[in-house]
Amino acid sequence: MSVYLLPINIAVIIFCLLSFFLFIPWLVYSYRKYGYLSIWASIVAYSFIFYMLSALFLVLLPLPETRNTCAMQPPDTVHYTLVPFSFVRDIITSSSVVWSQPSTYVRLLTQSAFLQAAFNFILLLPLGVYLRYFFQQRRYWKRALGLGFALSLFFETTQITGIYGIYNCPYRIFDVDDLILNSTGALFGFIIAPVILALFPSRDKLIAKANKLKESSLVPPLSQLLAVIIDYFLIKISWSLTFGLFTTSEFAEIVYKTICFFILFLVVPLIWDGKTIGTNILRFKLIHVDGGAPPWQSLLKRSIALYLPLATSWILNIFDSIELDMNSILYPYHVWTTMAIFGFLVIMWAVLFIHTAVILIKRGKRNFYFDYVADLVPRKK
């Protein structure tokens, strides 16, 4: 069992890292495709990624400790098996089952040949279920069989080539039975998928809900928040790829980000009909409460409302980073000031977090504070 637990544990670790980096791109994709964050679509997408990682690692891991795998094997080692259905012979010859006595069939569960064949059959069975969810109709069973075969062939080719030359000899054999069992498992999963998928919302329901939301001008609050995050992320990336490569000055970083902030949140929507890069990606724009284009005064108020919490954190963090000698007469005041700064930041971000949570719970019935003070409302393009 530990042979299977190691690859799955590694898949969990890699999956967690990928989930962190893919979270924002997935939110963008979800809102552009469906107009809302579909929990079910998210479960399908993330579980599919985890499944594919697990399947790959189950096939490849554990890796040999050395690249010179040829030295670990006899010179006459055969790295492939091309006789189909050899697993049937192996099960029969290595089994202690008495075929005329059904009560002995349970012994198969302890036979390595049977368990290996069962594992190869089950390995791509979930793939068939996912393919049925994506393709919907049963008439695409040939595609499921072909994709199952193609993925199995990829696994076997990866093994026979020593992960494409990383190892000088294969450390696992190319087995035609694996191709047969993997492909059959994928096809079987495709056939039985409706029994499993009946427990969950169908793609048709997701698309129907998306079409209904597209008819509404209401922009989900998470989409609004995501647009702000994208815009701010662009500012951070631009700093890291330009001046951030040449200086570590916190003052220079604040000045740069401040200039970019007001360009992105004030100038760009002013000349781009109420759209920032983030809102354009999420397919909505800002309008004044009276229905007209946002005036510069409103955009300025919104920019300041968004900027103040960030600027406050930047400035207070710089002040907090000042170090004084413990013997200095100002040291006690510095300690109390530092504690006050920390307390203020905690309260400020806690209030913003609660405000954001309330808006998300209200599902668009209330506006974020930065749009409220600026008399702006988001509307789909």
Q: Which residues pair with 288 in a beta bridge?
A: 376
Show which of 38, 62, 86 is a domain's final residue.
Answer: 62
Share of the chain above pLDDT 90, in %: 33
Same domain, 168 and 267: no
Number of H helices, E strands in the chain: 16, 4
Question: Does 131 map to a domain?
Answer: yes
366 and 240 in a single domain? The answer is yes
Other C-beta atoms closer than 10 Å to the C-beta of 252 total: 14
The model carries a pTM of: 0.78
Rounded to whole angstroms, the Cα distance separating 186 from 61 reads 21
Q: 343 and 326 in one domain?
A: yes
Q: Is 164 within the bounds of a domain?
A: yes
Same domain flag for 273 and 175: no
Whether the upstream peptide bond of residue 170 has omega within 30° of 0, thus cis, is: no
Question: Is 69 a member of any domain?
Answer: no
Q: Work out the average pLDDT over 281-309.
A: 90
- Domain hosting 95: range is 76-215
Residue 317 lies in a domain: yes
> Are both 354 and 270 inside the same structural domain?
yes
Let me know if residue 92 belongs to a domain. Answer: yes
198, 272: one domain: no
What is the mean predicted confidence (pLDDT) over 141-148? Answer: 93
Residue 71 belongs to some domain of the structure:
no
Same domain membership, residue 50 and residue 133: no
d(CA 140, CA 151): 17
Same-domain check for residues 246 and 126:
no
| Contact indicator for 11, 50 with CB cutoff of 8 Å | yes
Q: Are residues 85 and 107 in the same domain?
A: yes
Q: pLDDT band for position 328 (50/70/90)?
A: low
How many independent structural domains does the chain possess?
3
pLDDT at 78: 79
- pLDDT recorded at residue 187: 95
Average pLDDT for 350-375 = 88
Indicate whether 203 and 222 sit together in one domain: no
* For residue 272, pLDDT beyond 60: yes
Q: Which two tokens stand for residue 133?
A: 């969810």
| Side-chain half-sphere CA neighbours of 324 within 13 A | 15
* 153 and 194 in a common domain: yes
Q: Which of 34, 62, 90 is the last residue of a domain?
A: 62
Q: What's the confidence (pLDDT) of residue 157?
A: 92
Residues 239 and 361 both lie in one domain = yes
